[in-house]
Amino acid sequence: MAMHLWIVTLTLAAFLAMDREVPVSAGEHLFSRLPICEHMAEPPKCPQTPKPICGTNGVTYKNECHLCVTRIKTRNDIQIMKDGKC
Report which of 48, 59, 67, 49 is spatially closest to residue 85, judged by C-alpha positions: 59
Residue 62: predicted pLDDT: 96
pTM of the predicted structure, to 2 decimals: 0.60
Rounded to an integer, the average pLDDT of 10-31 is 50
Within 10 Å of residue 81's Cβ, how many Cβ atoms? Answer: 21
The CA distance from 9 to 74, in Å, is 50
Read off the pLDDT of residues 29-79 as tens digits, 9 standing for 90 and up: 457 888 888 777 777 788 899 999 999 999 999 999 999 999 989 999 999
28 pLDDT more than 80: no
Measured CA to CA in angstroms, residue 38 lies from 7, 29, 54, 68 at distances of 49, 22, 19, 9
Residue 29: predicted pLDDT: 46
Read off the pLDDT of residues 62-76 as tens digits, 9 standing for 90 and up: 999 999 999 989 999
The CA distance from 70 to 40, in Å, is 12
Instruction: Give me the amino acid identity at 35.
Output: P
* DSSP at 28: -
